[in-house]
Amino acid sequence: MEKKQMTYGQVMDYVEELGKLGSVMGLANMENLCEKLGNPQRDLSFVHIAGTNGKGSALAFLSEMLKAAGYRTGRYLSPVILGYRERIQINGRNISQKDLCRLMTDMKGICQELVEEGKPQPTAFEVETAMAFQYFKEKNCQIVVLETGLGGLLDATNVIPSPLVTVFTAIGFDHMGILGNTLEKIAGNKAGIIKAGTLAAALKGEEEVMKVLEKRAAELDVPLVVADPARAKVGRQSPEKQVFSYENYKNLTISLGGLYQIDNAVLALTAAKLLDRAGFPISQKAVYLGLAKALWPGRFQVLGKNPYFIADGAHNGQGAQRLRETLQFYFTNRRIIYIIGVLRDKDQDTILKELCPLAEQVLTIPTKGERGLSSYELAVKAKEYHSNVSALDSVEEAVELAYLLADKDTVIVAFGSLSYLGELIKVVEKCTAPKGRNDIGRDSHGKQREN
């Protein structure tokens, strides 16, 4: 008897149900799932990206360059900001509800078979990853840019065969309970995605991180190319656009304003050169076009001006440091109001200590789910680093109050958990804040200059 296809609502209920299982490190469940599907991952070509911060931005830059070069490019990413279907894309288009319902119905049936065979129920991320492989194969993707979920070695995505190119973004402290409490341990876990036969690109980072990556690459005879942003010549920078030159590329433009995005763009350029060696050439025109078109929600995203309203996914110490540097660069001596929501298992103290000194006022909001942290608990922590803190009940209340407190020269910055930024972006879009244009940017020396 043919199984009845789930509706979109039923799919979301099923995903929520699977989400209660949490995450399981290891590849056994993935191997079981993929085997039932006929191992679609073996028929695909991959770029595999790991790191603590910048994975999504590097993925956006690289996949836009591949798309501009004419390749049918799959993207698999997490976490999502604007909606569930965002995690599986082809050439920037989300998987359709129809395809999602069809494939998830199949996945649910496979999971039931596995459980009946005495095997564990796969987690939400495992089901989604296997489903993505099946979708990309069905749609004849020529290349898939794949972001790890957590770590590397035992991450569900690591069931793939040797990728064309392995990419490492900035590696720092996060998920220490799972990945280890030293940079060497964290880097060692992420280095687990290097496989014999791949080419590797890594963003230049801490010495202890680079030693681990270089050792793993050498053991497998994998060429490792280090992308060094210090060699980039930076031109005009504003919160909406940055121009830089790197090696043979002059005056490249990116539409992502965080200072750290030049690092991610330089890494993507390095990976693009390796793809050329792997048989996927990207023309100079496609490089320029892809970098300029790449957008990534919730990463120093300008949601409004006069006052500036910025959303950023800084949710660990490294991310907080980069956000602080960017705010100090663009908004020296400007009045800043924060909206902060952070998950319970994050290092709130490091984030707050890094960023609170820049703000005039701090508004805390609750985060949801089993890992959620109440606005009151976060406010108590924030008061250790700032005297003017208010705990609010919702994103809507925080946005409304921030706008009431702000004048046109104020900068409102929402950061912390990516899980609430999608809701925040929608709330801000609905607001009737004054629309305007502020054309003050900065040159590479940090001085204000007019267009």
Percent of the chain with pLDDT over 90: 79
- Once rounded to an integer, what is the mean pLDDT over residues 346-357? 92
Whether residue 187 contacts residue 152, with contact meaning beta carbons closer than 8 Å, is answered with: no
Tokens representing 167 are 């990419």
Tokens representing 408 are 């046109």
Q: Specify the DSSP class assigned to residue 392.
A: -
- pLDDT tier for residue 386 given thresholds of 50, 70 and 90: very high
What pLDDT is recorded for position 178? 59
Percent of the chain with pLDDT over 70: 93
Q: Residues 438, 442, 443, CA angle at the centre, nearest 5°?
A: 150
- CA gap 318, 173 in Å, rounded: 7
- CA gap 270, 259 in Å, rounded: 18
- Once rounded to an integer, what is the mean pLDDT over residues 365-391? 93
Segment 360-377, tens digit of pLDDT: 999 999 998 888 999 999
Task: Classify domain 8-293 at the CATH topology level.
Answer: UDP-N-acetylmuramoyl-L-alanine:D-glutamate ligase (3.40.1190)
Segment 33-50, tens digit of pLDDT: 999 999 999 999 999 999
What pLDDT is recorded for position 18? 93
Give the SS3 label for residue 38. Answer: coil
Burial of 357 (0-12, 13-18, 19+ CB in 10 A): exposed
Q: Specify the DSSP class assigned to residue 87.
A: G
Q: Residues 52, 56, 59, CA angle at the centre, nearest 5°?
A: 120
Amino acid at 19: G
Helices (H) and strands (E) in the chain, counts: 15, 19
Q: How far does the chain reach from its first CA to its final CA, in angstroms?
A: 67
What pLDDT is recorded for position 315? 83
273 to 53, 127, 175, 179, 313: CA distances (angstroms): 22, 33, 31, 30, 28
Whether residue 401 contacts residue 390, with contact meaning beta carbons closer than 8 Å, is answered with: yes
Whether residue 326 contacts residue 260, with contact meaning beta carbons closer than 8 Å, is answered with: yes
Amino acid at 82: L
What are the boundaries of each domain within the chain?
8-293, 301-450
Segment 174-225, tens digit of pLDDT: 655 556 668 888 999 999 999 999 999 999 999 999 999 999 999 999 999 9
Burial of 436 (0-12, 13-18, 19+ CB in 10 A): exposed
What pLDDT is recorded for position 442? 39
What pLDDT is recorded for position 405? 96
Residue with tokens 């890494």: 267
Amino acid at 97: Q
Phi-psi region at 94: left, alpha or beta (left = phi > 0; alpha = psi -120 to 50)? beta
Tokens representing 106 are 């199949």
Q: Burial code of 141-165, b = ≥16 C-beta within 10 A, e = fewer? A: bebbbbbbbbbbbbbbbbbbebbbb
- Once rounded to an integer, what is the mean pLDDT over residues 381-386? 96
* Whether pLDDT at 121 is above 90: yes
- CA gap 289, 299 in Å, rounded: 20
Amino acid at 123: T
* Whether pLDDT at 450 is above 80: no
Mean pLDDT of the chain: 91
- Once rounded to an integer, what is the mean pLDDT over residues 264-273? 98
CB atoms within 10 A of CB 409: 12
- Once rounded to an integer, what is the mean pLDDT over residues 301-327? 92
What pLDDT is recorded for position 91? 97
- Once rounded to an integer, what is the mean pLDDT over residues 113-117? 96
Q: Which residue has the higher pLDDT, 70 or 439?
A: 70
Q: Which residue has the higher pLDDT, 439 or 59?
A: 59
- pLDDT tier for residue 113 given thresholds of 50, 70 and 90: very high
Note the CATH number of domain 301-450.
3.90.190.20
- CA gap 360, 288 in Å, rounded: 39
What pLDDT is recorded for position 122? 94
Amino acid at 101: C
- Once rounded to an integer, what is the mean pLDDT over residues 100-124? 96
User: Which residues on adjacent β-strands are paired with residue 354?
Assistant: none
- CA gap 214, 361 in Å, rounded: 44
CB atoms within 10 A of CB 333: 5
Segment 149-170, tens digit of pLDDT: 888 889 999 999 999 999 999 9
- pLDDT tier for residue 59 given thresholds of 50, 70 and 90: very high
Give the SS3 label for residue 243. Answer: strand
What pLDDT is recorded for position 439? 40
Q: Specify the DSSP class assigned to residue 53.
A: B
